[in-house]
Chains A and B, each alone.
Chain A
Amino acid sequence: MADDIKRRVALKVIGTTLGVGAFAKALAPIAQFTENTSVGEFLQKHYRELSSTELATVLARLEADTKKNYGREVTIQDIRPQAGVQFAYALNLSVCIGCRRCVEACHVENNHDRASHNSYIRVLEMEQGSMDMGRGRADYDHAVPEDGKFYMPVQCQQCENAPCTKVCPVEATWQEPDGIVVVDYNWCIGCRYCEAACPYHARRFNWKKPVIPADEINPNQSYLSNRIRPQGVVEKCTFCLHKTRQGQLPACLEACPTGARVFGNVLDPNSSIRWVLENKRVFVLKEELGTRPRFFYFFDK
């Protein structure tokens, strides 16, 4: 009897060891992931809880990581919203020709993954006389503009009542005082609930680590906008806050050859955005959802 028990104990110890070993072996690829994640990164607090010294450490670490992983010297700033500024965007659908230069400018400015040709803007080719997106298409591939069509670029609408920020279980995304909806890429857990909630297909997920050649990286970066995003987190259009909060215009507007895009501070009575909102018959997409976008569309004629 005693021998039988010894044999059983021995068998169980061997079995358990083999089982644990097998699971360790099966999970081994995770080591590749963990060696790219430092302790500092793992324990990093939420952006809005960081003190200025903690934030400086984080920015320095991110710059060093970019140098190490992408071979490029970059500057990552933390640019805060300005008081008395409420951003809004308007787009003239009569003028847009669907050339997708805004899409390309966004791709370059925001350090998107090159292979997937990611961008925060999608341009719909719509049928004249219809606002039904179901009759439009985003994958058109021919000379533009085509007769009988109009073109409608769609990007983040920076909603006042944003469904995406509501659903986030960890407050990794929120609306800033100047109206821009941002993501803390170091706090997002990658559940993609925001991507499901957004009615405008504005959000993107980093399905893998972005790949960009060193010489193509835009070195002028900021924490909440165009710094190179980590694998497994959600990102979105930030109205190029690293430019616009410093008095410049968004990259998509600068690239537009037809002047279809109008951007600015609605609280400034002399701004062109203010003039458009006051003098054109503007509308927003999917108004019935109650999202209250700060991205407007209008027709000129």
Chain B
Amino acid sequence: MTKGTTLTERDAESPEPATQHLLSYPRFLLTVAWRATEGTWVFYAWMTLLTAIALVGANAWAQQMASGMAVTALTDHVSWGLYIANFTFLVGLAAGGVMMVVPAYLYEDHDMHDVVIIGELLAVAALIMALAFVIVDLGRPDRFWHMMPFIGRFHWPVSMLSWDVLVLNGYLLLNLHVSGYLIYMRYLGRRPNPRWYVPFVFLSIVWAFSIHTVTAFLYSGLGGRPFWNSALLAPRFLASAFVTGPAFIVLVLQVIPKFSKFRVPEGAVQRLLSIMRVTVLINLFMLASELFTLFYGGGAHAASGIYLFFGLHGHAELVPWIWTAVTFNIFAAIVLLTPALYRSRAVLNTALVLTFIGVWIEKGMGLIVPGFIPSTLHEIVPYLPSTVEWKVCAGIWAAGLAVFTLALKFGLQAMTGELRAPGAPALDGDVAGAALTTTEETAQ
């Protein structure tokens, strides 16, 4: 959470000189660093668990670096697998957070405005994970600098991957800026100056659509892969992103009151669910359209689809995966549209978890892998991830969840007034009794 400009520019609403930030910003960072390791035993247990899993993943990746990607189950036939599947899904999750930003800023939904920062923090964590999945998929991560504009040889604008580097890093910076600025201002006890964040919020709305569109173009632009070579891919990606983003956030919003003094407005949950009611259906509809086009005409172009859904020439590795995904997504659609079902929080939450998993399969193993099966020479070489791939995958998810946990902790403490500079004034939204003078402030 860095914000360079606030250090040098005079805040329109404050009479103090900008140089005060030279002292208060480092102090803010120190406080945040201290708070990162403060919490209840549940917090410690959770972070220890995530660290342990991240360690397993880091070790698996180091082994992959040392002995080569032969330790994965990837081949020259199926050259992308679990890593790129997760990458694709996580770009969608990052873009999905925008479904909080749109109601909060475009429709002035006040309930959503109170919690919009959660969507921005989710985008930050999801993008860090997505970028990590690209790094672990590289055969030569040591040559990463070749991809950097000006230093390396950046193949822009021809390569869609160069576009992806730009939009993903740009989206990460936008969300770091907006959420970091808001948290820092609340820490100072000041009302944020709209000039410093509202334009970036509107830019981030457009940008959210771009990250998932560009990621879809990575695949849909390849004429040699008929399964991906569809104009519907980008719209489908967005629709499913707007299922998983809200699903994850609704679950998070229900967990927050158990661990925080922050009061979650019920209107935000209801708004996200009504968005999902639409997107879950659009996603299923687009899947159906895609399948119709594939299967009605038949021919060689349908081979990947047949392999995925029914198996081909005795190979049916992905059939259980895709039917699980379809079942989960249809179940979620039924629950979200049936009042008797969604009124039960247990049923609703089950549906949210299942559709999250469903889209993860559909967009990952159900999209990336069948693009390679059959191969361009129509050979069928099956792929199921190796243990090393599963470990690296779990490690990145654990690290990402740790980042999200910490970001959420700082974000919510800033909103409740628990993360406040000594002597700073109270703000709207502070929770009574929350503004504790905690031990580290005394220590300073």
Contact = CB atoms under 8 A, between A and B. Distances in A.
11 contacts: A8-B439, A12-B34, A19-B51, A46-B146, A46-B153, A134-B303, A139-B379, A163-B223, A169-B161, A192-B79, A205-B69
A190 B139 CA distance: 4
A195 interface: yes
B378 A207 contact: no
B377 A133 contact: yes
Interface of B: 34, 37, 51, 55-56, 58-59, 61-63, 65-70, 72, 74-77, 79-80, 134, 137-144, 146-147, 152-155, 158-162, 165, 218, 221-225, 300, 303, 371-372, 374-379, 439-440, 442-443
A205 B138 CA distance: 11
Nearest to A11: B37
B74 to A, nearest CB: 7
Nearest to A2: B443
A170 B153 contact: yes
B377 A12 contact: no
Contacts of A70: none
A83 interface: no
Nearest to A41: B142
Nearest to B395: A26
B37 A15 contact: yes
Contacts of B34: 12
Contacts of B58: 23, 26-27
A101 interface: no
A168 interface: yes
Contacts of A29: 59, 62-63, 65-66
Contacts of A27: 58-59, 61-62
A286 to B, nearest CB: 7
A215 interface: no
Contacts of A192: 79-80, 137, 139
Given A134-B374, A189-B147, A232-B140, A12 B80 contact: no
Contacts of A193: 159, 161, 218
B147 A170 contact: yes
B388 to A, nearest CB: 12
Interface string A204-238: 11111100000000000000000000111110000
Contacts of A197: 222, 224
Nearest to A138: B379
Nearest to B34: A12
Contacts of B80: 192, 196
Contacts of A1: 439, 442
Contacts of B143: 42, 170, 187-190
Contacts of B376: 198-201
B221 to A, nearest CB: 8
A114 interface: no
B153 A171 contact: yes
A5 B224 CA distance: 63
B140 A233 contact: yes
Contacts of A138: 377, 379
B217 to A, nearest CB: 11
Given A195-B76, A231-B68, A30 B62 contact: yes
A166 B139 contact: no
Given A169-B155, A171-B155, A199-B224, A136 B140 contact: no
B76 A203 contact: yes
A250 B221 CA distance: 33
B22 to A, nearest CB: 25
A187 B153 contact: yes
Given A5-B440, A26-B59, 16 more contacts: A15-B37, A27-B62, A28-B62, A29-B62, A46-B153, A132-B378, A133-B377, A166-B159, A169-B147, A189-B144, A190-B139, A196-B371, A196-B372, A209-B68, A232-B69, A291-B223
B377 A124 contact: yes
A122 interface: yes
Question: B interface, by DSSP: helix, strand, loop or mixed?
Answer: helix
Interface of A: 1, 4-5, 8, 12, 15-16, 19, 22-23, 26-30, 32-34, 37, 42, 46, 122, 124, 132-134, 136-139, 154, 163, 166-172, 187-193, 195-201, 203-209, 230-234, 286, 289-291
Contacts of A291: 223
Given A170-B154, A170-B155, A233-B139, A122 B79 contact: no
A134 B69 contact: no
Contact of B67 (A8, A124, A168, A208): A208
B67 A196 contact: no
A199 B221 CA distance: 12
Given A134-B303, A200-B376, A201-B375, A207 B65 contact: no
Contacts of A187: 143, 146, 153
Contacts of B154: 169-170
Contacts of B77: 201
A12 B139 CA distance: 36
Contacts of B158: 166
Nearest to B229: A289
Contact of B140 (A167, A190, A289): A190
A168 B159 contact: yes
A171 B55 CA distance: 34
A1 B366 CA distance: 57
A5 to B, nearest CB: 5
Contacts of B55: 22-23, 26
Given A15-B37, A46-B153, A189 B146 contact: yes
A28 B61 CA distance: 10
A201 to B, nearest CB: 5
9 residue pairs, one from A and one from B, having the closest CB atoms: A190-B139, A199-B224, A232-B139, A208-B68, A169-B161, A26-B59, A133-B378, A207-B70, A29-B62
A201 B76 contact: yes
A169 to B, nearest CB: 4
Contacts of A207: 68-70, 72, 74-75
Contacts of A137: 379
A195 B155 contact: no
Contact of B377 (A8, A170, A200): A200
A16 to B, nearest CB: 8
Nearest to A164: B224
Contact of B378 (A5, A42, A134, A204): A134
A170 B378 contact: no
